Structure 1
């Protein structure tokens, strides 16, 4: 008896091929939509950064061919430039005051609008709106407010019997004036704090209340520790932004009076575009970049003992 051997029918590869075509199509679409960002990253960020790293070791005026001089720019910067250390000092003074006051104010506003007060949605909007207006329009408004004769700040101080200062025309008050202006932009940090406050379980606050803790004890021992990751984030982002301040002193004071607002960003800009020392300015930019990176790493390391993550 013979047995007929039948070969099983070949499986259709149509579903697999269709899946592969769909995967390739999705991959192509992914890279197509991502390409504008990649082109911008490479052409407008990474490319100029790498070239500025090369320019930092050259003598270059931005027009003629750069001349390689090794570490001469850095040697001059740290040992012979009279503006390097003072400009860094002013920048750190401004950044410290801005971040400290801005963080406290943003947290206080977030705690206030997180309570069940009447019109809290309105107040959230009012506190956040000024952070949307940035750049030259905001600077022009504050120039009018800081006017020693017609400004609203000195007018309000005069109503309570206080003679207002010259603000931007005074070497004593120029940095406090810029710090006061920077507090306008605390709305963004306030929203982040508000999200963090709403993420804290109410059970923990209620347990602290049952134990007899008042509002300040609950805020200090429950809210602040659980909010510490958000505080860390706002502090780091605030430092990065404050250490790069440029537009405000450039437009409002030009670095004066008596170079009291001659911050590092303005100093770098003048070296590049006013004095045509593009190579030297590139070296300054990389020093600023490394300082911000090292400061960020230091803050992250110091925060290990003070930052508490919920559930960890």
Structure 2
């Protein structure tokens, strides 16, 4: 009887209740961490750990065959003062991103507008048009693209059949860059799907109100569609910009960085330095410079979003 009274007093005690609440919260937290532990192990073991190690390596001279030797800031100084290929890689990458990303977003939005009709079969065509984004970045497609624009490829065969001069796509700097841009724009599926989802969230009342005010199709697009899509444009712009700076497979397999390093993208040069020249310390410094560049552009886009992104 006495023990029951003590238990009852403990049950109604505020201190006991608070202790039980904390214990329950701790148990829930531990359960949650246990559930996500595989992701945490992968994140710290495969992302954070290698990042920290590469940052340390960027200050060393390391050829992967012998122990790293401390070199201070020499890798960074060498990059900016005595490496013309590094500057060429920056120029090629900036040119590619400045042209390919806007073209890809514009083409994706154009197709999203075409598919936003609600007509029968539009879902099937949307799925079909999404396929290039699934396979476009693969090694197989890059090899096919190289054959397509080779000296005896389909592109030159068509030009020859029309009585036009054939083009050395891989011997001309502008042509080589153009086919890489075309390949990236061809992979429009992912941003197209996101644009399409955004278009279907725009209230039809806005278009009806614009029609009452006498607005035509173009004016509706400029005054209604674009402002309402700015959050989607912002998201796609950030994602495609990051992907553009890290483009590797297409340039490595299609053009190999040529001709004369005109398509030597940053990721391609980083790969050459690390795995062909076995200069992992130098490559690590390049990787961190790329991270800073991407971070700076992402920050710039975020800071400018207050001027053109509308969430209301």
Deviations 1:2-32 (A, max 9, x none): xxxxx9574386xx89998876665444223
Hey, what's the Cα distance between the residues in 2 that align with 1:209 and 1:160? Answer: 46
Instruction: Indicate yes or no: 2:165 matched with 1:183.
Output: no
Aligned partner of residue 132 in structure 1, secondary structure: helix
Aligned partner of residue 264 in structure 2, secondary structure: coil
1:241 corresponding residue in structure 2: 243
CA contact (8 A) 2:88 2:262 kept: no
Q: For 1:294, which of 285, 293, 296 is the aligned residue? A: 296
Q: Unmatched 5+ residue regions in structure 2?
A: 12-16
CA contact (8 A) 1:168 1:177 kept: no
2:281 corresponding residue in structure 1: 279
1:144 corresponding residue in structure 2: 147
Deviates more, 1:286-295 or 1:32-41: 32-41
Structure showing the higher helix proportion among its residues: 2
RMSD: 2.5
Compared CA separation, residues 210 and 154, structure 1 to 2 (3 A): farther
1:228 corresponding residue in structure 2: 230
2:14 corresponding residue in structure 1: none
TM-score of the superposition, structure 2-length normalised?
A: 0.89
Hey, what's the Cα distance between the residues in 2 that align with 1:230 and 1:195? Answer: 9
Deviation at 1:170, TM superposition (A): 2.5
Q: Unmatched 5+ residue regions in structure 1?
A: 1-6
Deviates more, 1:49-58 or 1:21-30: 21-30
CA contact (8 A) 2:88 2:261 kept: no
1:304 corresponding residue in structure 2: 306
Deviations 1:44-71 (A, max 9, x none): 1101100111111111112212111211
Hey, what's the Cα distance between the residues in 2 that align with 1:159 and 1:91? Answer: 34
Hey, what's the Cα distance between the residues in 1 that align with 2:83 and 2:297? Answer: 23
Q: For 2:221, which of 215, 219, 222 is the aligned residue? A: 219
2:195 corresponding residue in structure 1: 193
TM-score of the superposition, structure 1-length normalised?
A: 0.89
CA contact (8 A) 1:255 1:266 kept: yes
Hey, what's the Cα distance between the residues in 2 that align with 1:164 and 1:195? Answer: 42
Deviations 1:144-182 (A, max 9, x none): 32233232x344455655545232343220011001011
Aligned partner of residue 173 in structure 1, secondary structure: helix
Q: For 2:204, which of 202, 215, 231 is the aligned residue? A: 202
Q: How many pairs were matched up?
A: 303
Deviation at 1:271, TM superposition (A): 1.0
